[in-house]
Amino acid sequence: MIRTIETIATVADDGKLTVQVQLPPGVEPGQRQVVLVIDEAISCPREALAPLPLQVFEWPGWDAQATYRREELYPG
């Protein structure tokens, strides 16, 4: 099984990479092959990101008498 884990790592002045990752349950101890992809863009810490100003919409529920059967939606 292959799992994708996204995290933020720190590259020190000496070129060493430091990563801390809490693996998901079910990953057994042992040696693993790991592929590391480095994005050239500097990332900002996740806690520094402001929440998105999303708007909440109130939607009425479905009509209790509506069945939405295929035969009723598509004639013939």
**Does the model's pTM come out above 0.85?**
no
DSSP percent split of the chain into helix, strand, coil, nearest 5? 10, 5, 85
Question: What pLDDT is stored for residue 13 in this prediction?
Answer: 92
pLDDT, mean over the chain = 82
Give the confidence band of 14 by pLDDT, cuts at 50, 70, 90. Answer: very high
pLDDT at 76 over 80: no
Report how far residue 76's alpha carbon sits from residue 70's, in angstroms, rounded to the nearest whole number: 10
The 3-state DSSP class for residue 17 equals strand
